[in-house]
Amino acid sequence: MARTVIIESHGGPEVLKLADRPVGDPGPGEVRIRHHACGLNFIDIYQRSGLYPMQLPAALGMEAAGVVEAVGEGVAHLRPGDRAAYAAMPPGAYAEARVMPAAQVCPLPDGISFEEGAAMMLKGMTVQYLFHRTVPLKAGDTVLFHAAAGGVGLIACQWAKSEGITLIATAGTDEKCALALAHGAAHAINYTIEDFPARVRDLTGGRGVDAVMDSVGAATFDRSLDCLRPLGMMISFGNASGPVPPVNLGVLSAKGSLQLTRPTLFTHIARREDCQTMARTLFGKVTSGAVKIVIDQRFPLAEVAAAHRALESRATTGATVLIP
């Protein structure tokens, strides 16, 4: 048996329940992993609230790190006793232990702690696909990154600096702007007191940025289009403020033949080979020191509702982990 966080109905943090669930043995292509730390992400909130509907009852959580206890037939890249971390479907990472598909479970280097592993997989591989698989960015390019003081954002700030990419950060307080700057952002904009499209135009000499990376959604989408250069790429990869309303494609034409995409990490890591390669790139960034994983909040698994409230209220910086 393993303590597991489940929901039996969609709603607020109060629907989160801790239940004892049987774990069992892994079948073909599966692995059993005992978690030492579990990651917290906005997608967990979307699933809990019903923005991303789930078949109920359902377990929550998309990333974790721990030790492999058993592997099923056909699993060659992991062995019992291996340290491992993952971001993967299906949900169920808020648990002491679980059985799950092995393809997206990755061997965790000894130089990376379990807490770092749990805090970095979904967020770090998201940054990897944003910078390497969504648009061909190169040294000298400029990007606008919203919510830059969060878990994904602080990795993105460091990643951009390590590759010679100018990152303009936005955040909701001066303190969060300072945090983004301390982690490699070239510029930071407090969007609560500044007109961020006007400031972006000033910072880029009127040209605009090559790409916008936006996990905020409804509150920032329209004005983000005004930050792009002609032929620039709008990457909407989350909806912390709510989903983006339907888009008139003619607006993209009028604003400079802009490009628009709504990617998801789970498309990029669907193939085992792609996932393992992306993870190795991320691990290399971390073990080299180019990217440091910032964990500013830790909650016991039993206090998962408090963790959700903190994330939803924008009271967190960096990453948050749950400790089983």
Say if CB 111 and CB 134 are below 8 A apart.
no
What is residue 169's predicted lDDT score, i.e. its pLDDT?
98
Q: Does domain 123-264 have CATH number 3.40.50.720?
A: yes
- Helix (H, G, I), strand (E, B), or coil: what is residue 281? helix
Rg, the chain, Cα only: 19
Amino acid occupying residue 210: D
- Helix (H, G, I), strand (E, B), or coil: what is residue 83? strand
pLDDT tens, residue by residue, 38-51:
999 989 999 999 99
pLDDT tens, residue by residue, 77-109:
999 999 999 999 999 999 999 999 999 999 999
pTM of the predicted model, to two decimals?
0.92
**CA-to-CA dists, residue 281 to 64, 126, 278, angstroms:** 18, 12, 5
Query: What is the architecture of the domain spanning 2-121+266-323?
Result: Alpha-Beta Complex (3.90)
Ordered by start, the domain boundaries in the chain are 2-121+266-323, 123-264
Give the span between the Cα atoms of 262 and 20, in whole angstroms.
37
Give the span between the Cα atoms of 236 and 93, in whole angstroms.
25
Helix (H) or strand (E) segment spanning residue 310: helix 304-312
Give the span between the Cα atoms of 314 and 19, in whole angstroms.
28
> pLDDT-derived band of residue 243, with 50, 70 and 90 as boundaries?
confident
Q: How many CB atoms lie within 10 A of CB 293?
A: 24
pLDDT tens, residue by residue, 167-213:
999 999 999 999 999 999 999 999 999 999 999 999 999 999 999 99
Q: How many CA atoms lie within 13 A of 143 on its CB side?
A: 33
Say if CB 40 and CB 322 are below 8 A apart.
yes
